[in-house]
Chains A and B, each alone.
Chain A
């Protein structure tokens, strides 16, 4: 392996001891330091997450008590979109769309990868910084700009994009069909273009840094699983986001230049359109070619984080390190050939459907292996329940539930009846809204000391975890039943269908859990910001962990290590190794004579 110390001769020319004082702007705003950029991503994502949470409470109120007015709704949306506090049907769809977009892209892609890839890559592979600090900074600012454009779309005439986060044309292409497909949709596309640029800049940086800037001795097979997960995530993003970009550009052309990529034989608002020869299905292929890898872009970093935290806190090596890497690779590869499972009932050739059933169900194998390996890692461990550990265990529990319902959905014959119902909503919230979010929380609690040099309050962390864990199940588990009763998703109200009256009380239950769950996030937010200023000071290696980042000083410095970058001699999972006095052996400790690596 080309493990080198090239990072030492970093592009910015000054070595670890930097002599000049950084200005306020270059330190806090246009920082090129990966740790600061990671924190910028995180804080932005927390803000965006709150926006999306408030949206979800607004539409959950409508679903539980359809047609009732709420001061809460009115407060946020005003008379235009919520006259008397009653949510407007178009606004309902707009909120669902923007909620989904923010959660999937801004929180779980930009937020999750942006935070932990930036914070951890140089620290865990042993580099002074990212390959290109400047491009890394640009990546954040594109992300920031993209967030602002997305938020600004909330205020335009006609409201924000409303065609669902999957923005299927023709609905997303024709403002005649829904008001949100006017300026709101254009801003959505502009925002996503910026977002894609951001994630490509970030992704290339991550890949290059991991491949080229590892410290001496850091073979690929000695990398922490977080690095493997983030590495494959970045590769997936670099390969699939350009396809979304092309889909978005073609859509933009259909919207403003009169092309017909996705439009054909449409009669709308009393008028036949000129467009012929396009296909709305083409968009879906392009969208899901990104869309499915995207769900793993969301999940893999969370799985990586969890592997690290579970091993550290079980004081036990992660079970089956190589199998874990293998399954990350297998998931990454397979995720490119399963996109058609979102399109079983678009009229696709049934044989093609069969192929997608096959490839999709293959993914369940590496997923199962990961679950078994997590469980075995806990077996005969010596488990310390830090908040990060709790969230990691929560991730495994939710990944089990979500993975199993995925098998139902992947079975095309069964998908016919549950496609686009609440069953799908339940499935993807359990894997994204719970697993991936839990991974993100786990990472925040675990690496907070590294980010801010302070400790978060453990007790608040406990309360946060248990309330969130219970409420999230309370929200998403009953949705399976609502879906199996045949209730479609993206419905403003079910009151037009008496057949769903007997599951309406489940909607109330779900909303109540959602409100309590959202409140619990106040605990987290308070704990997070309060601890940044007033939390107790952290020690260098609070969790007694093996990985390199804990060998850097608590006080951040540009270049990470005050002296030379440490050399790595072993894998990161030497916990409770027989013959060692401590129950952990950092990667920087040389192997003793005759000691086997693992």
Chain B
């Protein structure tokens, strides 16, 4: 209601201004003044407003800086973040100088050289020396920016060391899943055709391939059966025919995959990439040890997502059909971060606000969020990252290893998704049962 009133007042205000301007126009027309003749008073008014604006502009900038600088991202929690934060500040310092100089000159000149009919503008079509100077100076400054920038960029993007911890971050609408290698230290192969309720990442192992083939077989048989025996409207029949054809194509491709896999296993035995998947850990927990390099491999199942961990200052897109990667070295554990005064203050500020709104309290955590438009729930596609000491990480990892992707006993089949997403449910329940690895 108050908002409506404010709106009403604004509209009326605007209309009032419009009317006033018209009245003014009529009176000045009666006095024989032409619209294009800008009166000295008008010129002076605008010149003064130029000064006022300059001051307001810088004032607004300063106010934002003072009021919000502690509300920006807290101290970087990764090595790479430390270097990019430094670089960012370095750039701000450099850029602040031309920002101030050019704005001051622009508004001052505009205000100062306001029209005066007794004066003539200075005739100055060009000045080659001046122009040369202000081509060369920006070029030199940019050279510095480029050199520092690329140095950092090269360090950030250089290959990770071979003994970095490998974690796969897997995106789908609208959640993240992490995958850790098992004791062999190798992430198994994966293929999107194997994805189903129990194998959300499509990990390729002899068992998962066999299970998926069985599942496809049953689905095909089920549809064939319907086509043969049920009375169906034509449209439905066409749809089912299409579907069964697609399933057959998939089955033949999975069979190809099986051939490739079997050859590879024959050749490499247990070293085969297809033997590496069974002990992988598929989990909703994302843990990393502090001070150790991590290599994050990023994949997507459906659309482009982006793995963004603002506190670490890292980001990489998740692109279906390819694996991207980034490396990082976390420098502060989640627990220590929670005790840093800057963070404590920030959390307190946040909780003061949340309390006012009756929302539950906030505890600091590193977050992995999605930063590429990916659909309706793009705004809520997050996963917590927990950075711990090396010892705690080992303990967590040991525990997690007890629930590998493919357990040898049927009880321990992982239930990775916290809540199964809609598309997983689309697989018929009995088909799911059929693929339970044995």
Chain A contact residues, CB within 8 Å of chain B:
71, 89-90, 93, 163-164, 168, 170-171, 174, 177-178, 263-272, 274, 276, 278-281, 314-317, 319-323, 345-347, 350, 353-354, 357-358, 361-362, 364-365, 368-369, 371-376, 378-386, 390, 393, 396-397, 400-401, 404, 407-408, 411-414, 416-417, 419-421, 449, 455-460, 462-463, 466, 469-470, 473-474, 477-478, 481, 484-486, 488, 490-494, 496-499, 501-504, 506, 515-516, 519-520, 522-523, 526-527, 530, 535-536, 538-539, 542-543, 573, 575-578, 583, 598
Contacts and interface: CB of A to CB of B under 8 A. Distances in A.
Nearest to B157: A350
B321 A278 contact: yes
A477 B60 contact: yes
Given A358-B150, A407-B142, A411-B149, 17 more contacts: A170-B303, A270-B423, A281-B322, A323-B126, A345-B315, A354-B154, A369-B134, A369-B135, A380-B122, A413-B152, A414-B87, A414-B91, A416-B313, A481-B64, A503-B71, A543-B36, A578-B123
B402 interface: no
Interface in B153-195: 153-154, 156-158, 172-173, 191-193, 195
Given A364-B138, A460-B21, A462-B42, A455 B36 contact: yes
B291 interface: no
A75 B193 CA distance: 46
B263 to A, nearest CB: 20
Interface stretch (B109-117, B228-236, B265-273, B411-419): B109-117
Given A267-B202, A271-B426, A369-B134, A413 B43 contact: no
Interface residues of B, number: 138
Contact of A269 (B25, B149, B382, B423): B423
Given A270-B426, A369-B131, A491 B378 contact: yes
Contacts of A414: 84, 87-88, 91, 149
Contacts of A163: 373
Contact of A317 (B14, B91, B123, B146): B123
Nearest to B374: A171
A393 B110 contact: yes
24 contacts: A89-B379, A163-B373, A170-B302, A178-B376, A264-B321, A265-B321, A267-B301, A268-B173, A271-B246, A271-B426, A320-B125, A347-B316, A371-B102, A379-B105, A393-B110, A412-B153, A413-B83, A455-B34, A484-B72, A486-B73, A492-B379, A497-B369, A503-B68, A515-B7
B194 to A, nearest CB: 9
Contacts of B369: 488, 497
B153 A375 contact: no
A225 B311 CA distance: 47
B114 A383 contact: yes
Contacts of B145: 361, 407, 411
A320 B125 CA distance: 6
Contact of A177 (B18, B122, B321, B375): B375
Contacts of B99: 400-401, 404
Interface of B: 4, 7, 10-11, 13-14, 17-18, 20-22, 24-25, 29, 34-36, 38, 42-43, 45-47, 49-50, 53, 56-57, 60-61, 64, 68, 71-73, 81, 83-84, 87-88, 91, 95, 98-99, 102-103, 105-107, 109-110, 113-116, 119-127, 130-131, 134-135, 138-139, 142, 145-146, 149-150, 152-154, 156-158, 172-173, 191-193, 195, 202, 246, 249-250, 301-304, 306, 308, 310-311, 313-317, 319-322, 324-325, 346, 349-350, 353-354, 359, 362, 364, 367, 369-380, 382, 422-427
Most buried by B among A417, A484, A485, A576: A417
B191 to A, nearest CB: 8
B317 A345 contact: yes
Given A274-B249, A314-B121, A460-B18, A496 B380 contact: yes
Contact of A171 (B308, B322, B354, B373): B373
A263 B7 CA distance: 47
Given A384-B38, A488-B369, A376 B321 contact: no
Contacts, number: 410
A496 B325 CA distance: 27
A497 to B, nearest CB: 7
A523 B157 contact: no
A26 to B, nearest CB: 32
A506 B149 contact: no
Given A385-B47, A577-B123, A346 B14 contact: no
Given A491-B379, A578-B123, A477 B319 contact: no
Given A368-B138, A490-B378, A386 B36 contact: yes
B425 A270 contact: yes
B38 to A, nearest CB: 5
A214 B83 CA distance: 55
B373 A164 contact: yes
Contacts of A358: 146, 150
A575 B121 contact: yes
A69 B10 CA distance: 21
Nearest to A461: B21
A485 B311 CA distance: 10
B303 to A, nearest CB: 4
B109 A379 contact: yes
Contact of B102 (A375, A498, A506): A375
B367 A378 contact: no
Contacts of B42: 385, 458, 462
Given A375-B106, A375-B109, A539-B36, A319 B324 contact: no
Contacts of A417: 81, 84, 88, 310, 313-315
A357 B157 CA distance: 14
Contact of A457 (B25, B46, B303, B364): B25
A444 B119 CA distance: 29
Nearest to B22: A457
B115 A178 contact: no
Given A380-B124, A381-B121, A413-B152, A498 B350 contact: yes
Contact of A268 (B57, B302, B425): B302
Given A488-B369, A502-B353, A520 B125 contact: no
A490 B103 CA distance: 31
B142 A267 contact: no
A535 B29 CA distance: 11
Contacts of A177: 173, 302-303, 374-375
B321 A266 contact: yes
Contacts of B364: 499
A516 B114 CA distance: 29
Nearest to B63: A478
Given A350-B153, A383-B114, A320 B126 contact: yes
A597 to B, nearest CB: 9
B125 A506 contact: no
Contacts of B110: 378, 383, 393
B120 A382 contact: yes
Contacts of A477: 60-61, 64
Contact of B149 (A276, A278, A412, A455): A412
What are the 7 closest A-B residue pairs judged by CB atoms, nearest first?
A: A270-B426, A264-B321, A486-B310, A347-B324, A350-B157, A380-B122, A542-B36
B78 to A, nearest CB: 11
Contacts of B317: 345-347
A378 B367 CA distance: 50
Nearest to B65: A481
A393 B152 CA distance: 37
A353 B156 CA distance: 12
Contacts of B422: 269-270
Contact of A321 (B125, B153, B322): B125
A369 B138 CA distance: 9
Contacts of B43: 383-385
Contacts of B105: 375, 379
A354 B316 CA distance: 16
A264 B29 CA distance: 69
B26 to A, nearest CB: 10
